[in-house]
Amino acid sequence: MSPNDPALRSFIDVPADCDFPIQNLPYGVFSTAANPKPRAGVAIGDVILDLAVIESAGLLPKISRPGVFGEATLNAFMASGPRTWAGVREAISKLLRHDEATLRDNAELRQNAFVARKDAKLHLPLRVSAFTDFYSSKEHATNAGTMIRGPENALQANWLHIPIAYNSRANTIVVDGTPVRRPLGQIKGPDHPSPIFTACRRLDFELEMAAVVGQPTTMGEYISVDQAQASIFGFVLLNDWSARDIQAWEYVPLGPFMAKAFATTIGAWIVPAEALEPFRVHGPKQDPEPLPYLRQKGPMNYDLNLQVDLTPAGASQATTITRTNFSYMYWSSAQQLAHHTSSGCAMSVGDVLGSGTISGPEKSQRGSMLELSWGGKEPMTLDDGSVRSFLEDGDTVTFRGWCQGKGYRVGFGTAAGTITPAANPPE
């Protein structure tokens, strides 16, 4: 049976609304109080299957570099290539099936191999080689452009021809749950003759997904859209926090810099691209037709539900402020990766490609507070009665994402961060 078969059942109990059924099998890196060494695991229901234990027991296919699941990142496993990814996922799926006795009936092995998710500490699952942030939602680009240049010039002339992006910072990518300090920077008000150096006053989130590159490319060569699709190991939730007021002053003429460099949060679980195959759909019609090197032969987007919750400091309940879908993206992840290599730019295992803010056509589907509050002109009221245009200290933003199957969901867990006060500026 295919690991994606909706009929599959595990001997691990998995409720229908759990993100981690047997059809998912996302990879992460974890440790425990009993064993503080970070190692690789797969989430299934409310537990984590320790892949280092399973590998040591000889229950996984041979990998060219033994012991990869005992390492503190997934990079070595990703480097082993798509055939290995598929073989390992198939072996894990078989071990977890309700009618397979190898793990189910071995009490000692089960005791050593499973860890309750609530008892595990989750780590950044990969060593991020580089981080590129795209700008590929037509709705988001139109909204942002309208606020800056007016509706007649919302999209720049190149936007419908090329996946727009900039190279961002890899060393400030942090895992789900890591606090985010409000950044300092230069801000210049429209009525002020010169800038000041102060704490960001218009702090925002950006709802994104990220493709994780699992195969390298060679400098000087480029790959096709189909080859790019095959090179993507998996996908992860991504929040590219944004300091809107700092960005407004600095972005001319070279684009975002410090306003986008202070923190980016990703989820702890990388969902394999293979697990998302049943949910592939066509994206929006691309008009004009892209140049030949960017043309797609089939559906390259995903029917992936996304949700943003905002919990104010001291509040007992979150307010859901956005519900949207990854399928709205104008440029697919495969097109983004193919374009990234088109100049001969080399890609590395562990490169992270942020999709860009994901917005839909309705106001409730906007993927940033910049859009939801329309630049602060339309503040939103949360369920506890508090009002927000941008994020305040103590606010917690939580992303969730899932593909809905028949009787199961393939989910991503969460990508959450709480805003902490800015540092004291230097004298």
Of these residues, 98, 123, 140, 161, which one is catalytic?
A: 140
Q: Please tell me the distance from the alpha carbon of residue 73 to that of residue 354, in angstroms, as a whole number.
A: 19
Nearest to 239 by CA among 283, 198, 304, 179: 179
CA 120 to chain CA mean position, Å: 21
Task: Please confirm whether the linkage preceding 253 is cis (ω < 30° from 0).
Answer: yes
* Cβ atoms within 10 Å of 352's Cβ, excluding its own: 22
Query: What 3-state DSSP class applies to 242?
Result: strand
Active site residue 140: yes
The C-alpha atoms of residue 127 and residue 352 are separated, in whole angstroms, by 10
User: What is the 3 state secondary structure string of 78-129?
Assistant: HHCCHHHHHHHHHHHHHHHECCCHHHHCCHHHHHHHEEEHHHCEEECCCCCC
Q: Which residue has the tokens 């508090």?
A: 386
- Cα separation, 119 vs 310, in Å, equals 25
Coil vs helix vs strand at 225: helix
User: Which positions ≥6 away from 29 have C-beta within 8 Å?
Assistant: 38, 39, 40, 41, 72, 73, 74, 122, 123, 124, 125, 126, 268
107 is written with which tokens?
């009490």
**In contact, 122 and 159? CB cutoff 8 Å:** no
Residue 3 contacts residue 100 (beta carbons within 8 Å) = no
Run of H or E residues at 404: strand 396-404
Query: H or E element: which one contains 371?
Result: helix 369-372
Tokens of 343: 């100049």
Sheet holding 396-404, edge to edge: 180-181, 409-420, 396-404, 305-311, 319-325
99: which residues sit within 8 A by CB, 6+ positions away? none
Which residues carry out catalysis? Answer: 140
